[in-house]
Amino acid sequence: MATPKRTGDNSTTEAFLNDLATVCRKHQMSLSHEDEHGAFQVEGYDTQLTEWLLSAHDMRKSTTANRKAAQERQQRLQEEERQRILEQRRLVQESYEKYYLNHTLTLLD
């Protein structure tokens, strides 16, 4: 499995992030973050987490485009989390309904 690579406009940023991705793979660990507050979490190696790390925005150039991209990413992540929670709720409800139906049918027998 190859280490994901980032390519872009700023060679210094790209080299920095690609070195981080190489270190993650070497040690079979990844950095993740539950939200934008608090510390990073160290986890087992995961290519998706490395790809997340490589999607970092270079905020050293605080441009409107960078801020907008970061805001859009945050909104997308929030929507994905909302959809995940809704799906979990749906599965719990579905499980409950199946249990209730089976229990009711057993009582009727």
28: left (phi over 0), alpha (psi -120 to 50) or beta: left
CA-to-CA distance for 55 and 98, rounded, in angstroms?
Answer: 42
In this prediction, residue 2 carries a pLDDT of: 59
pLDDT of residue 74: 83
* Amino acid in the structure at residue 11: S
- pLDDT 10s digit of each residue in the chain, 109 long? 555 665 555 677 778 878 888 888 898 887 777 665 667 777 888 888 888 877 776 656 556 666 777 788 888 888 999 999 999 999 999 999 988 888 888 887 7
